[in-house]
Protein backbone atom coordinates (compact mmCIF):
# COMPACT_ATOMS: atom_id res chain seq x y z
CA UNK A 1 0.00 0.00 0.00
CA UNK A 2 1.38 3.39 -0.96
CA UNK A 3 1.44 6.48 1.21
CA UNK A 4 -1.30 8.33 -0.69
CA UNK A 5 -3.58 5.29 -0.56
CA UNK A 6 -2.89 4.88 3.17
CA UNK A 7 -3.73 8.53 3.87
CA UNK A 8 -6.98 8.34 1.88
CA UNK A 9 -8.03 5.10 3.58
CA UNK A 10 -7.15 6.50 7.00
CA UNK A 11 -9.23 9.61 6.47
CA UNK A 12 -12.17 7.34 5.66
CA UNK A 13 -11.48 5.15 8.75
CA UNK A 14 -11.33 2.01 6.58
CA UNK A 15 -9.33 -0.80 8.26
CA UNK A 16 -7.75 1.78 10.58
CA UNK A 17 -6.27 -0.02 13.59
CA UNK A 18 -4.45 2.82 15.37
CA UNK A 19 -6.33 6.11 14.78
CA UNK A 20 -4.34 8.17 17.32
CA UNK A 21 -1.02 7.13 15.81
CA UNK A 22 -2.37 7.73 12.30
CA UNK A 23 -3.53 11.28 12.93
CA UNK A 24 -0.48 12.28 14.98
CA UNK A 25 1.84 10.93 12.26
CA UNK A 26 -0.22 12.73 9.60
CA UNK A 27 0.25 16.03 11.46
CA UNK A 28 3.95 15.24 11.85
CA UNK A 29 4.28 14.44 8.14
CA UNK A 30 2.75 17.77 7.18
CA UNK A 31 4.79 19.76 9.71
CA UNK A 32 8.14 18.15 8.90
CA UNK A 33 7.56 18.46 5.15
CA UNK A 34 6.74 22.15 5.46
CA UNK A 35 9.72 22.72 7.76
CA UNK A 36 12.05 20.99 5.27
CA UNK A 37 10.77 23.08 2.38
CA UNK A 38 11.06 26.21 4.53
CA UNK A 39 14.70 25.40 5.20
CA UNK A 40 15.31 24.87 1.49
CA UNK A 41 13.73 28.26 0.80
CA UNK A 42 16.05 29.83 3.39
CA UNK A 43 19.05 28.21 1.71
CA UNK A 44 17.87 29.56 -1.65
CA UNK A 45 17.55 33.08 -0.24
CA UNK A 46 21.07 32.93 1.20
CA UNK A 47 22.54 31.62 -2.06
CA UNK A 48 20.94 34.30 -4.24
CA UNK A 49 21.87 37.13 -1.87
CA UNK A 50 25.16 38.96 -2.32
CA UNK A 51 26.49 38.14 1.14
CA UNK A 52 29.73 36.19 1.37
CA UNK A 53 30.98 33.84 4.07
CA UNK A 54 27.68 32.06 4.63
CA UNK A 55 28.87 28.59 3.52
CA UNK A 56 28.85 27.09 7.04
CA UNK A 57 25.32 28.33 7.67
CA UNK A 58 24.18 26.86 4.35
CA UNK A 59 25.59 23.45 5.30
CA UNK A 60 23.87 23.60 8.70
CA UNK A 61 20.54 24.57 7.18
CA UNK A 62 20.91 21.81 4.60
CA UNK A 63 21.54 19.29 7.38
CA UNK A 64 18.45 20.47 9.26
CA UNK A 65 16.30 20.28 6.13
CA UNK A 66 17.49 16.72 5.48
CA UNK A 67 16.69 15.90 9.11
CA UNK A 68 13.15 17.24 8.68
CA UNK A 69 12.66 15.27 5.46
CA UNK A 70 13.95 12.15 7.21
CA UNK A 71 11.44 12.65 10.03
CA UNK A 72 8.69 13.12 7.43
CA UNK A 73 9.72 9.81 5.84
CA UNK A 74 9.49 8.08 9.23
CA UNK A 75 6.01 9.56 9.74
CA UNK A 76 5.00 8.29 6.30
CA UNK A 77 6.28 4.81 7.18
CA UNK A 78 4.30 4.83 10.43
CA UNK A 79 1.15 5.94 8.59
CA UNK A 80 1.41 2.91 6.33
CA UNK A 81 1.66 0.59 9.36
CA UNK A 82 -1.56 1.79 11.07
CA UNK A 83 -3.88 -0.57 9.18
CA UNK A 84 -5.22 -4.06 9.79
CA UNK A 85 -3.98 -6.72 7.42
CA UNK A 86 -6.54 -7.77 4.82
Any idea where the domains of the chain sit in the sequence? 3-80
Torsion of CA 28, 17, 19, 12, to 10 degrees: 100
pLDDT for 1-32, tens place per residue? 788 888 888 888 888 888 899 999 999 999 99
pTM value > 0.85: no
Query: Three-class SS of residue 38?
Result: helix
Amino acid sequence: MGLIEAILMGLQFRRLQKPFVFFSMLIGLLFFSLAGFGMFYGIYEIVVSDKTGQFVFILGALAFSLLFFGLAAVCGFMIQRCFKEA
